[in-house]
């Protein structure tokens, strides 16, 4: 049984936003128009946060992509009164759209703010309707939605492997955000498969840079980060010794 997870290397991330666009196209995420943005109702299943470090003119931009953490002890799950959010046996935190009644308890209980309430019926211009993914439902107004690790891709790969009478191969497929990243900063795969890239990144010596967001909360996130390497800071530290 696989246990899906992700590693995001912040030393590779350039903040280009390709992961955000790819996720929006793959998962039929509603278009965030200017009026929606100004009402603070914009929806992004993976967001790109930007931080500034230092003071001008010696200032540096830092980027961190933030999808759903798919916590093993997810705080969003026990508060849902209709069990619309649940944990699969493969480690994915799922959302049952036709069961959700929009209480938003799960969003309140999420420390990473990665759950979004669909306040309006999604609309696309005619020029974009043909680009909607037929393998992903278009969510109607009044439900919570979030990153699912591109569950449609997971299911498709598992069904194909079953038809061919074999097990899933390591890194046989990946999520839309990982596929679109030009720097290969995002790696998705089976954390329990020692041959997968994601497991090797988590378990190898490079995990000295590894950490998880708000790990002290004990929610056991399935998304790992590799710290940014700052050559100047490393040189100063080395010279200090």
pLDDT of the chain along its 241 residues, tens only? 899 999 999 999 999 999 999 999 999 999 888 888 888 888 999 999 999 988 888 888 899 999 999 999 999 999 999 999 999 999 999 999 999 999 999 999 999 999 999 998 888 888 888 889 999 999 989 999 999 999 999 999 999 999 999 999 989 999 999 999 999 999 999 999 999 999 999 988 556 889 999 999 999 999 999 999 877 665 555 555 5
Give residue 50's pLDDT.
92
User: How far is the C-alpha of 203 from the C-alpha of 222, rounded, in Å?
Assistant: 13
Q: In angstroms, rounded to a whole number, what is the distance separating the alpha carbons of residues 158 and 219?
A: 27
Instruction: Give pLDDT, residue 5.
Output: 95
Domain ranges, ordered by start, for the chain: 4-240
The DSSP bridge partners found for residue 59 are 54
- Cα first-last separation, the chain: 47
The sign of the torsion formed by the CA atoms of 204, 206, 212, 216 equals positive
* Chain-centre distance for alpha carbon 16: 16
Distance CA 171, CA 218 (A): 28
Instruction: Find the DSSP H helices in the chain.
Output: 18-26, 34-38, 105-109, 126-129, 151-163, 176-180, 197-203, 231-240
The second-level CATH assignment, the architecture, of 4-240 is 2-Layer Sandwich (3.30)
What's the confidence (pLDDT) of residue 81?
Answer: 95
CA distances to 3, 7, 55, 116 from 75, rounded to whole Å, are 19, 21, 37, 15
Please confirm whether the linkage preceding 57 is cis (ω < 30° from 0): yes
Q: Which residues are CB-neighbours of 35 under 8 A, at least 6 positions away? A: none
Residue 143 token pair = 């439900």
């Amino acid at each position: 049984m696989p246990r899906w997870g992700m590693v995001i290397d912040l030393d590779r991330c350039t903040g280009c936003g390709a992961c955000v666009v790819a996720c929006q196209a793959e998962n039929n995420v509603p278009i965030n128009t200017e009026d929606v943005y100004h009402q603070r109702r914009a929806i992004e299943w993976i967001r790109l946060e930007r931080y500034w470090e230092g003071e001008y003119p010696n200032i540096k931009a830092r980027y961190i992509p933030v999808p759903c953490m798919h916590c093993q002890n997810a705080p969003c799950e026990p508060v849902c009164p209709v069990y619309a959010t649940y944990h699969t046996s493969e480690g994915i935190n799922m959302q049952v759209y036709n069961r959700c009644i929009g209480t938003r308890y799960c969003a309140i209980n999420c420390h990473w703010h990665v759950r979004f309430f669909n306040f309006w019926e999604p609309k696309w211009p005619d020029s974009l309707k043909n680009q909607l993914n037929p393998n992903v439902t278009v969510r109607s107004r009044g439900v919570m939605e979030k990153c699912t690790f591109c569950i449609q891709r997971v299911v498709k790969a598992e069904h194909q492997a079953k038809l061919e009478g074999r097990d899933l191969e390591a890194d046989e497929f990946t999520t839309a955000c990982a596929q679109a990243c030009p720097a290969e900063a995002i790696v998705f795969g089976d954390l329990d498969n020692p041959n997968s890239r994601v497991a090797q990144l988590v378990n190898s010596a490079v995990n000295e840079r590894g950490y998880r967001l708000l790990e002290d909360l004990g929610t056991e996130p399935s998304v790992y980060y590799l710290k940014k390497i700052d050559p100047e800071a490393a040189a100063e530290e080395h010279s200090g010794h």
